[in-house]
Amino acid sequence: MPKMGEITKTPDHLSSKEQKEVVPIERIKMVMTRNKDDDEDLWNLLGNKEGRKDLDFQFKQLHSNFKIAIVVDMWLTGFDVPFLDTIYIDKPLQTHNLIQTISRVNRKYEGKDKGLVVDYIGIKKNLNHALGMFNSSAADDFEDIDKAIILIKDQLDLLRQFFYQFDSSKYFEGNPVEQLQCLNKASELVLQTEKSEHFFVEVTKKLKGAYNLACGANDFTEREIDEIHFYFAIKSIVVKLTKGEAPDTAQMNEKVSKMVEDAIISEGVEEIFKLDDNKANAIDLFNDKFLEKISQLELPNTKIKILERLLKQTISDFKKVNKMKGIEFSARLQSIINRYNERSERDILDYDGIQTDTSEQILDLILELRKEMASFEDLGIDYEEKAFYDILDAICRQYGFEFDQEKMLELAREIKHIVDDAAKYPDWSERDDIKAQLKMDIIVKLHQFGYPPITQDDVYKNVLEQAENFKKNR
């Protein structure tokens, strides 16, 4: 027999009979996944997947000799052993992962009224932050797990009412394709209006905050747990479509997590989700085949959200090149989205028409933006000179006067040259003397070209902003 505290090799697996009964086993075992780069000794020590399943069973037996588990990521979350009373933490954890981890020892059990958390690394600050986050989102005191369970039940009831006319049976009983289609249709329902989207996100946020604390409790049926994962999956898809954030699958089992990814890709816009989460790709957005694929999406609300998110990011990137035109396109897109979000309840019978019209308007705006971004080539100037040309042109339209286009193009080139000369000093935008000289040089140049003097301050203000924009984003 091994000595007290000795860590020995994990067997690859026990017999099926031994898996169902308490067997002689070491007091301390290490539970980690192994990989091909591990040393031979470590590889042999860790054992395989079947061996870890056996350890899972043995650790959950009250009378097993297996009392101390050394873990890294495994068993920290979603692993429930009610009689556990002590956890030693020597790993930086935060937010829901930290809450879930300390919750391993807060389960009620006969003869046990509390759990002990031994902190070796200093998690108090992170713990206070995590508790504050979840208390704020759920507006509840989660010190008592019973309160979290009540909150979960309440939020589930609200979500059931929201989906009362929606047939979710295919998610729970259908084949993989039907499950994916069900998730996408559920997301489409959530995205029907701004109000419905906000309601669903807020309710699932509260549900998640409470479930983080009570996920290991034995108060939920298997069907309720599947239902909770169903709502989390929908929320992850909605957030991915609207904000571009990676799906939040931390609370989901492996099966549902994979299903979320597949459901997103199944929309036929997988290129979007190969991009960085916070950055759309203008090349994809302007690709004719890509736009055609987007146009063929059969879920109109999903289509609008995808187009809106990608176009917003592309316009944001364009602002770094041409601030004035970028602002103009932002305003136009927001106007389209506002009209879509402000549709009234009496419009419900014409939702299809409104959705189609909105999609077409956004697609038209994408084509206009593509044309605008290449317009400097037709004018015979570079893209930076085009930004200053647009400033001069906007001032003309604002004050209602005509100015010869060729002269305006030449003036834009001259202003670009003046700005480049000032910007050769790294700290130019912080130096009042350089900015004063820049303003004087611009005023003189405007006067030489006969550009109306009443707008000199406006021209300088916008030129300075554009110049600083170049400095920041070059």
Query: pLDDT value at position 3?
Result: 44
Q: Give residue 20's pLDDT.
A: 61
Start-to-end Cα distance in the chain? 68
pLDDT 10s digits, 161-175: 999 999 999 888 888
Higher pLDDT, 73 or 84: 84
Tell me the pLDDT tens digit for each residue of 352-394.
666 778 888 888 888 888 888 888 878 888 888 888 888 888 8
Question: Tens digits of per-residue pLDDT, 312-325?
Answer: 888 888 887 788 88
pLDDT of residue 159: 93
pTM equals: 0.55
Q: Give the pLDDT confidence score for residue 158 in this predicted structure.
A: 92
Is 237 within 8 Å of 269 (Cβ atoms)?
no
Determine the pLDDT at residue 255.
58
275-294 average pLDDT score? 57
- Residue 279 confidence (pLDDT): 44
pLDDT at position 72: 77
**H-helix segments, 30-102:** 40-46, 49-59, 95-102
Q: Do residues 24 and 65 make contact, with C-beta atoms less than 8 angstroms apart?
A: yes
What digits encode the pLDDT tens for the residues 334-345? 988 888 877 655
What dihedral angle (degrees, nearest 10) is formed by the CA atoms of 38, 43, 47, 48? 50
122: confidence class by pLDDT, cuts 50, 70, 90: confident
pLDDT tens-digit readout, 285-310: 666 777 777 777 777 788 888 888 88
Question: Is pLDDT at 81 greater than 70 in this prediction?
Answer: yes
**Are 148 and 210 contacting, i.e. CB atoms less than 8 angstroms apart?**
yes
Alpha-carbon distance values, 167 to 77, 93, 163, 179 (Å): 31, 39, 8, 11
Distance, in Å, from the CA atom of 4 to the CA atom of 224, rounded to the nearest integer, reads: 42
Count Cβ atoms below 10 Å from residue 279 Cβ, excluding itself: 12
What confidence score (pLDDT) does residue 273 get?
45
Q: Does the pLDDT of residue 462 top 80, yes or no?
A: no
Please give the pLDDT value at position 420: 81
State pLDDT tens for residues 415-433.
Answer: 888 888 877 777 777 788 8
| H-run or E-run covering 30 | strand 28-31
Task: Please tell me the distance from the alpha carbon of residue 55 to that of residue 51, in angstroms, as a whole number.
Answer: 6
- Residue 365: count of CB within 10 angstroms of its CB: 18
For the record, the structure tokens of 447 come out as 């006067």
Of all residues in the chain, what percent carry a pLDDT higher than 70?
75
Strand, helix or coil at 427? coil
DSSP 3-state percent helix, strand, coil across the chain (nearest 5):
65, 5, 30
Average pLDDT, the chain: 75
